[in-house]
Chains A and B, each alone.
Chain A
């Protein structure tokens, strides 16, 4: 049935009616829905905090230095991602591989730091059910971690796909889309970090 090649004819950016490639428009729409998802969680956070009798300041309950290092790790991975995209445009396969592997590696590093953080909470018998603060903390960061894992899967897929399809006309679009998603995950963390840890 509709093999990729049929639809590819319609994905040539110059040929779409709006002038935006399908994949790019699709990924932005997806990100818009993700923004609504995380906005809801942030709204719930504000509502719950307003309604709470007391709310711990982040630095009392959480490990701020580790989270700051993690923030820097995630921001760096965002930079390597955009550099990987630059290498695709420059048609530099080995450069692309280098930066993409860095992105994936940094994402893993983020998850490892995060698991240390979770682990120390669990050893102190702090679980999502401990208090409403912990519920918010674990749910929001947990959902963010799931998004990080999703990003790792996509980026790893692209890394392997590059072996055969690096010169495919749609490949740059795919890397761009994965990049948009990855930067979005970064932005979510940029807000999560101060909201939960610093204020």
Chain B
């Protein structure tokens, strides 16, 4: 172990010499440093979240006031997308497909894995960098073109994809614009695969001496499980995307059955394919993907709660086991997205049972989070508020999954606004809320400055209220039988009574945007002019606070040695109420 320290120290020396030779491009653009790459991911994914959100704000106009011209912006769109400023069905479908794709693949996953994982994970295990820095850089530089290609599809011939983010064939094979989406997806999948290999190897191989697996912070565990999910779940989608690409470009018929008659014309493909095959392969990825969206935020919440209750969280091992259990189970539940798809009704019963089983570890994690509050000395600072908001909001999201996971009630609720409400409660008020908390929590680490608290409180309360205003009405609409993916809900009689709720949702969504402005200002202002903080402003125990903020290249001046578990707060006999992992005597 002494040898190791020498190595790291030597490595660090060579760094400081190399430092001066780096150009701006090497340092900030094509950087190999996990911290810069993490920040690149952070800024890019936050921008993509904003873009995806903007698409939704446009769509919300069409939902609240169907058939009326979109004010101001409507005139800027080309006439074929929005004749007279009224959003057309094609344009609405494009916005919907791209909203889903951007939010999931370009926003939340890169934020949770690429940004937080890249920046925080190596620090928390005491590593000088990721295991494969070049691959790390390649991962970002495949992600960005993939994202830009997706955005560019709006102006490319054929327009953006308009078959939903799920891209069910045969619609996706008939519709224009899908090929660019597929190429973009292959780039994003490649990026994720490179990232996940890197995370797994880093976590398993680059831990500081003394950092056993059961001493790793829960955030690191969540990233490890997430990376395994990405690694094993993405290739099936890649294969499925290749087959869809073949169908579109080489006119094969993997997903096209015989005798398709499209708008009165016999489709030319030879036929013999299975449309349901895509759905199976897509959801084989996309269900583990849900946990990819969810696990890193859960890890972040555990970090923040442990830090701000000043006590070890309840049931560390339960949480670790539950995360692994979720990871394993998530591969055998996918077909609960397909109960009414024409899939075998007998097989549905199998997926019903596995779906109910996977709720067990999720409930266990949520319970551990709540029980962690018991006996604590709770500090209500800005990150803690976001972490606490995660609990009831994710609770609502999880509970409303129950009637969707049950085959019988899913017959009614499938593809209604109830589904939209459910997964937005999980992903937006759950994952995104927790990750914004993570931004406030680790901002001092990234920039050595704190974000403004007053703006933080304003951002928190405004966001929380507006998010509920957007998503809660969807449950009522779903129960009234309103379908998703309609650009004009008023075309159906049964949607009319709940139409006013669309106005509530839309107004809340636009207010939600306004409440993000203080955050954007706060983020960039604090980056340069925020209040300077000490090295460990939250008095936290994990290793990322054992190095300067922001950490220098190579992170630790001396490879830390780990003496205890990650959350030893209020340790009996210690002088302070936190006992850092790397300090031997406290």
Chains A and B touch (C-beta atoms under 8 A apart)? yes
Per-position 1/0 for B125-155, Cβ under 8 A of A:
0011101110000000000000000000000
Q: Inside 8 A of A10's CB, which chain B residues have their CB?
A: 7, 127-128, 131, 205-206
B206 near A16: Cβ-Cβ < 8 Å: yes
Per-position 1/0 for A45-62, Cβ under 8 A of B:
001100111000000000
Q: Inside 8 A of B11's CB, which chain A residues have their CB?
A: 5-6, 9
B246 near A44: Cβ-Cβ < 8 Å: no
| A1-B196 Cα distance, complex, nearest whole Å | 22
Partner of A129, one of B7, B270, B274, B280: B270
B128 near A40: Cβ-Cβ < 8 Å: no
Binds A, one of B25-33, B372-380, B540-548, B570-578: B25-33
CB nearest neighbor in B for A20: B205
Q: Inside 8 A of B235's CB, which chain A residues have their CB?
A: 33-34, 36-37, 40
Q: How many A-B residue pairs have CB under 8 A?
A: 161
B205 near A37: Cβ-Cβ < 8 Å: no
Known: A5-B14, A44-B254, A52-B272. A36 touches B236 (CB 8 A): yes
Binds B, one of A81-89, A130-138, A165-173, A181-189: A130-138
Partner of A9, one of B8, B198, B243: B8
B554 at the interface (CB under 8 A from A): yes
Known: A29-B197, A129-B269. A22 touches B231 (CB 8 A): no
Known: A1-B27, A16-B205, A139-B246. A6 touches B554 (CB 8 A): yes
Known: A2-B32, A29-B200, A33-B193. A128 touches B234 (CB 8 A): no
CB distance from A126 to the nearest CB of B (A): 11
| A143-B251 Cα distance, complex, nearest whole Å | 17
A29 near B201: Cβ-Cβ < 8 Å: yes
A18 at the interface (CB under 8 A from B): yes
Interface of B is mostly: helix
Known: A44-B281, A135-B246. A2 touches B204 (CB 8 A): no
Q: How large is the interface on A (under 10, 10 to 19, 20 to 34, 35 or more residues)?
A: 35 or more
B3 at the interface (CB under 8 A from A): yes
| A47-B255 Cα distance, complex, nearest whole Å | 11
Q: Inside 8 A of A128's CB, which chain B residues have their CB?
A: 246, 250-252
Per-position 1/0 for B193-236, Cβ under 8 A of A:
10011101100111100010000000000000000000111111
**CB-CB contacts below 8 Å: A93-145 with B:** 127-132, 134-135, 138-139, 143
A18 near B204: Cβ-Cβ < 8 Å: yes
Q: Inside 8 A of A139's CB, which chain B residues have their CB?
A: 242-243, 246, 252, 254
B271 at the interface (CB under 8 A from A): yes
A25 near B204: Cβ-Cβ < 8 Å: yes
B238 at the interface (CB under 8 A from A): yes
Among A34, A36, A38, A131, chain B packs the most CB atoms within 10 A around the CB of A36
Partner of B277, one of A29, A44, A135: A44
**CB-CB contacts below 8 Å: B93-130 with A:** 127-129
CB distance from A174 to the nearest CB of B (A): 13
Among B3, B11, B196, B280, chain A packs the most CB atoms within 10 A around the CB of B11
B10 at the interface (CB under 8 A from A): yes
| A192-B1 Cα distance, complex, nearest whole Å | 47
| A22-B252 Cα distance, complex, nearest whole Å | 40
B239 near A41: Cβ-Cβ < 8 Å: yes
Q: Inside 8 A of A37's CB, which chain B residues have their CB?
A: 235-236, 238-239
Q: Inside 8 A of B253's CB, which chain A residues have their CB?
A: 129, 132, 135
CB distance from B473 to the nearest CB of A (A): 39
Q: Inside 8 A of A20's CB, which chain B residues have their CB?
A: 204-205
Per-position 1/0 for A8-22, Cβ under 8 A of B:
011010011110101
CB distance from B11 to the nearest CB of A (A): 4
B204 near A32: Cβ-Cβ < 8 Å: no
B525 at the interface (CB under 8 A from A): no
| A130-B269 Cα distance, complex, nearest whole Å | 8
Per-position 1/0 for B1-29, Cβ under 8 A of A:
00110011011001100100010001100
| A16-B1 Cα distance, complex, nearest whole Å | 11
A40 near B281: Cβ-Cβ < 8 Å: yes
Q: How many chain B residues touch the partner (CB < 8 A)? A: 61
B211 near A17: Cβ-Cβ < 8 Å: yes
CB distance from B152 to the nearest CB of A (A): 25
CB nearest neighbor in A for B236: A40
CB nearest neighbor in A for B132: A26
Q: Inside 8 A of A199's CB, which chain B residues have their CB?
A: none
CB distance from B188 to the nearest CB of A (A): 14
Q: Inside 8 A of B270's CB, which chain A residues have their CB?
A: 129-132, 135
Partner of A1, one of B10, B18, B193, B274: B18
Q: Inside 8 A of B232's CB, which chain A residues have their CB?
A: 32-33, 36
CB nearest neighbor in A for B273: A132
B240 at the interface (CB under 8 A from A): yes
B553 at the interface (CB under 8 A from A): yes
CB distance from A35 to the nearest CB of B (A): 8
Known: A2-B129, A6-B15, A36-B235. A143 touches B242 (CB 8 A): yes
Among B26, B234, B243, B280, chain A packs the most CB atoms within 10 A around the CB of B243
A22 near B274: Cβ-Cβ < 8 Å: no
**CB-CB contacts below 8 Å: B422-481 with A:** none
| A40-B254 Cα distance, complex, nearest whole Å | 13
Q: Inside 8 A of B200's CB, which chain A residues have their CB?
A: 25, 29
CB distance from B22 to the nearest CB of A (A): 6
A47 near B133: Cβ-Cβ < 8 Å: no
CB nearest neighbor in B for A52: B272
A1 near B33: Cβ-Cβ < 8 Å: yes
A160 at the interface (CB under 8 A from B): no
B252 near A129: Cβ-Cβ < 8 Å: yes
Query: Mind listing 11 A-B residue pairs with CB under 8 Å?
Result: A1-B26, A1-B553, A12-B7, A22-B201, A29-B196, A29-B201, A33-B235, A48-B273, A51-B274, A132-B252, A132-B254
Q: Name 14 extra pairs, CB < 8 A, besides A2-B32, A17-B204, A22-B205.
A: A1-B27, A1-B553, A6-B14, A7-B131, A15-B3, A17-B211, A26-B198, A29-B201, A33-B232, A127-B250, A128-B250, A129-B251, A129-B252, A134-B252
- Give the 5 A-B CB pairs with smallest separation, nearest first: A132-B272, A135-B252, A40-B239, A37-B235, A16-B205
- Residues on A close to B: CB < 8 A? 1-3, 5-7, 9-10, 12, 15-18, 20, 22, 25-26, 29-30, 32-34, 36-41, 44, 47-48, 51-53, 127-132, 134-135, 138-139, 143
